[in-house]
Amino acid sequence: MLYETIIPASGSSFTKKNFIFKHFPPDWHYHPEYELVAITEGVGKRFVGNGVSEFSPGDIAFIGSNVPHFHLSDRVYYENNDLYCCSEVIQFNQNIFPADFRTMPEFGPIVRLLDESSRGLLFHNDEVLERIRTRLSDFERLDGLKRLMELYRILGMLSQTPDFSYLSIAEVDYNRVKDLHNLPVYRAYQYLANNFKEPVTLRQVAGYAGQNPTALCRNFKQSTGRSIFNCLLEIRIDFAYKLLVNSDFSIIQVAYESGFRNISHFNHKFKEMSGLSPLEYRRAHQGKSRTEYSEEELTAAAGDE
């Protein structure tokens, strides 16, 4: 994974760029700057944290500080044709705000937006998105303080809309981990996020992180506030949430796809973390009646009751 160094142009505290690529560079990278991405041309997969989603023209996403990400253009953009992938991108860090902005009531909504962006945000309000796209296209005509105030306005608009979804399956506070490119704790995060569907041992995680198991467990807990296997459980349950709502997988399939090999253990941990059984969670979010579920689902759901 690449660490990207971003240097604003002379006379500016943040960057605004227009990118035109045959295909977006498929480089898994991160940087301390927050990133606002508006896709203007191209389709493909968007990777943010440990989540994967589709991107297409008109999308506006907001990616938090140090959150790993990249865009993978569809295969057709790698062929010899006239197709291109284009985006408008703004990158900034917290230095654009007053030193005590987090305690200022006027910045409250923007503070919440910045904090929520640790999972990556995709916005869905068409009216707001159209207004922001217009402002982005007019951005080049601005300079100095007017340019900064326009960024404030854009962030303010985004902070006021509740119509967004998360791009990363599980919340990971990447800013709590320093020196991301070489710290064993972050490498442990990477291993968990990339391998949560498979059986995971402490020895495997420690080997990938390059630190002995005892030291890694201690450092991981100090850096994140939770143990390695509690973090793994959170990643698995968060992935199960997504499958239960957005797929037709049976409860047993959801359990296996989320890294659980024992349905009773899955049911128990799911209810412990969510307050609902997997079937109750699906019913609450999909609106199905009990009679619409298969006998297999009902049996699996009852397995731990």
Mean pLDDT, the chain, rounded, equals 86
Q: How far is CA 134 from CA 3, 145, 277, in A?
A: 31, 19, 45
Q: For residue 164, what is the enclosing H or E element? A: strand 164-166
3 state DSSP class of 284:
helix
Residue 205 in tokens: 């995680």
Cβ-based neighbour number of residue 18 at 10 Å: 14
Q: Which residue has the tokens 């589709």?
A: 54
The band of 219, judged by pLDDT with boundaries at 50, 70 and 90, is: confident
What lies within 8 Å, CB to CB, of 284 at 6+ separation is: 276
Domain architecture of the chain: domains with CATH: 2-166 (2.60.120.810), 174-302 (1.10.10.60)
Residue 153 in tokens: 């306005």
Residue 58 in tokens: 């008109």
Each residue's pLDDT tens digit, 177-217: 544 544 688 788 778 877 888 999 999 999 999 999 999 99
pLDDT at 243: 85
Q: For residue 40, what is the enclosing H or E element? A: strand 34-41
170 vs 172: CA distance, rounded Å? 6
Cβ-based neighbour number of residue 259 at 10 Å: 21
The alpha carbon of 290 is separated from its chain's Cα centroid by a whole number of angstroms, namely: 33
What φ, ψ does residue 27 adopt, rounded to 5°? -105, 115
Q: What is the pTM of this model?
A: 0.62
Each residue's pLDDT tens digit, 243-261: 888 778 899 999 999 999 9
Q: How far is CA 255 from CA 42, 104, 246, 267, in A?
A: 34, 44, 14, 8
Q: Mean pLDDT over residues 49-64, rounded? A: 89
Q: How far is CA 136 from CA 40, 127, 189, in A?
A: 11, 14, 34
pLDDT at 30: 87
297 vs 12: CA distance, rounded Å? 57
